[in-house]
A and B are shown apart, each in its own frame.
Chain A
Amino acid sequence: MAQVTPFTYRQGKSILHLLDVRCKFFIICLLSMSLLPAHFLACFFYGFILFFFFKNAGLNILSTLNHIKYFILLLFFIFIARALTMKGDIIFSFYDLSITVQGLNEGFLVSFKFFLVMLTGVIFSSTTKPSSVKSAVQWFLKPVPFVPEKRVAIMISLALSFMPVILNQAREISEAQKARCADLQKNPVKKIIRLVLPLLKKTFLSADYLVLAMESRCYSDDRTDPEFIPSGKEFYFLAASVLLSLGFAWL
């Protein structure tokens, strides 16, 4: 069985589930970029909006935070690094290291922005089918010259659908090795080599079978175009996101 992560698509009927994926793509790009120069007030306002859509999409905030705890730890390190390296009014000093007011502010702001971008990604991937992501990538790449958009789309689809299979194979190999006391090997490099070589072999073999299966179903680059089903509320969402990004600049 595939494991559920915060980025796994969850079935639902919320407005975000029904929104056209191209619109969602545009909105997350626009808002994520608008967040870069934004100040505290704008970030808190955006956080409040995200909280509303988190609830609306039926996602569990505590469970999500638990799943991204290592990312939050990384944000904490970013916060510390900023607090210690930014010049300004010193609050506390120890040898050459000084924590400044400006450093704390800047560290908190940068970490908070990263956190908000991460939550935006979680909402997007939890409410968007991987196949819709593939279709949107194909649609956005269509006008780009010399890029075989249909081939790129099928590669994305294969990568997304094969990830659980590869992870499952890695787990099986690891357990088979543990059953033969592989834990006694303390050298991490040797451990990784022992895992990676059979995993690569299995993955290439699976890829061979996949090629045969695709060929047997008449695989071709010239395929039926994907279908987009707009919910009818895309215009309002686009207008709101443009206003919001302008508001971020003003706040």
Chain B
Amino acid sequence: MKKIIDINNISHTFDDGYMGIKNISLSIFQGEFIILAGKNGSGKTTFLRHLNGLLLPDTGHLIVNGQDVKKHLVQTRRTIGMVFQDADTQIVGDTVFDEVAFGLENLKIKRSQINEKVTQVLEDLNLFHLKDRNPHSLSGGEKRKLTIAGILVMDPQVIVFDEPFSNLDYPGTIQVLTTIIDLNRSGHTIIIATHDVETVIYDATRIIIMEQGLIKEDGAPADIIRLLEFYGVKEPSTSKFGLGIQPWRK
């Protein structure tokens, strides 16, 4: 598998002296489906924001497709798209179409190409019939899908999700989960920070557990699943009852 992200000993300290992440080193390969788990304050979000260049490491190097993130911010943000926890606070456009077009307009792509790509992505995610709607009037699941569309239109190789299932009802969670799994099957590398491991573990290829800014565990779901509760993350019920890893959705 092709290596996309190479993280070499990165650390980040905030202005108040709090160390968000400490000496993290790992590699991420094309097509992986990674769950990033850990308690609140374990450093998951800080780590994810480094991947997209929203935060830069104080020490160490973060290399994306062979290029240092610090020197190639725009290229990094095109390669690694980020979907934030609260959909409402990341929606910029006042129609669904404009929201998806935002990233491409920033890249100064020609209008005809923007229209073509946005239409394609909206159709792929089954959102085209909503193209003239105000994004804030959509349901929770639709809003989350819209934020994914806004990232997907920029052709990223890696999509990073920060708590993608928070505040979603069951149908909304199914909608978003199905979209994420389809994206992974179409070749995108997926990284999900979540407390809700049970929802995605069946499709994951790797689990990374963080605690106090450090990576404590990194391995295949089957090897890590029994250790989850030791780090304050709920172990899936099927595993607790001895049924191993089962799919969450039918």
Residues of A bordering B, CB below 8 Å: 1-2, 9, 11, 129-131, 134, 154, 157-158, 160-161, 164-165, 206, 209-210, 212-220, 222-225, 227
Bound CA span A165–B49, Å = 24
Closest A residue to B91 by beta carbon equals A161
Please measure, in the bound complex, the distance between the C-alpha atom of A2 and the C-alpha atom of B137, giving whole angstroms: 5
21 A-B pairs, CB-CB below 8 angstroms?
A1-B137, A2-B136, A129-B94, A129-B132, A154-B92, A161-B136, A164-B134, A164-B136, A210-B90, A212-B90, A214-B102, A216-B82, A217-B92, A217-B106, A218-B74, A218-B103, A219-B106, A224-B104, A224-B110, A224-B111, A227-B115
Q: Assess A131 versus B94: contact at CB under 8 Å? Given A224-B109, A227-B111.
A: yes
Interchain Cβ contacts within 8 Å, total number: 99
How far is the CB of A105 from the nearest CB of chain B, in Å?
A: 43
Which residues in A have their C-beta under 8 angstroms from that of B105? Answer: 223-224
CA distance A134 to B105 in the complex (A): 14
Q: Report yes or no: B89 in contact with A210, Cβ–Cβ below 8 A.
A: yes
Query: Please, how many angstroms separate the alpha-carbon atoms of A131 and B132 in the complex?
Result: 10
Counting CB contacts under 8 A, is B54 at the interface?
A: yes
A-contact 0/1 string along B17-51, CB 8 Å cutoff: 00000000000000000000000000000000100
19 A-B pairs besides A154-B92, A224-B108, A224-B111 with CB distance below 8 A are A1-B137, A11-B132, A134-B94, A165-B88, A165-B89, A206-B89, A209-B84, A212-B49, A213-B84, A213-B92, A214-B92, A216-B52, A216-B82, A216-B84, A217-B103, A218-B78, A218-B107, A222-B108, A225-B111
A222 to B54, CA, bound (A): 20
A161 B92 Cβ-Cβ under 8 A:
yes
Least CB distance from B147 to A in Å reads: 8
**Chain A residues positioned under 8 Å from B110 (CB to CB):** 224
Which chain A residues lie closer than 8 Å to B86 at the CB level? 206, 209
Contacts of B205 in A (CB 8 A): none
**Chain A residues within 8 Å of B78, by CB:** 218
- Give the residue of B52, B93, B111, B151 whose beta carbon is less than 8 angstroms from that of A131: B93
Q: Does B141 contact A (CB under 8 A)?
A: no
Chain B residues with CB under 8 A of A219: 106
Main secondary structure of the interface of A (DSSP, over half): helix
Enumerate chain B residues within 8 angstroms of A225, measured Cβ to Cβ. 111
Check B57 for interface membership: any CB of A closer than 8 A.
Answer: no
- In the bound complex, how far is the Cα of B136 from the Cα of A158, in angstroms? 12
Task: Name the residue on A nearest B82 (C-beta).
Answer: A216
Residues of A within 8 A of B111 (CB): 224-225, 227
Contact A210 B92 (CB under 8 A): yes
Q: A218-B74, A218-B77 are in contact. Are A213 and B90 (CB under 8 A)?
A: yes
Nearest to B133 among chain A residues (CB) is: A11
The answer to the question of B114 belonging to the interface, with a C-beta cut-off of 8 Å to chain A, is yes
- CA A187 – CA B90 in complex, angstroms? 36
Residues in B neighbouring A215, C-beta threshold 8 A: 54, 77
Contact assessment for B89 and A213 in the assembled complex, using a CB-CB cutoff below 8 Å: yes
Interface residues of B in 55-108 (CB under 8 A from A): 74, 77-78, 81-82, 84, 86, 88-95, 98, 102-108
User: Is the CB of B135 closer than 8 A to any CB of chain A?
Assistant: yes
Residues in B whose Cβ lies below 8 Å from that of A157: 92-94, 98
Closest to A214 in B: B92
Contact partners of A224 in chain B: CB under 8 A:
104-105, 108-111, 114
Assembled-state Cα–Cα distance A214/B54 (Å): 10
* Residue numbers in B under 8 Å from A213 (CB-CB): 82, 84, 89-90, 92
A214 shortest CB reach to chain B, Å:
6
Residue of chain B at shortest CB distance from A1: B137
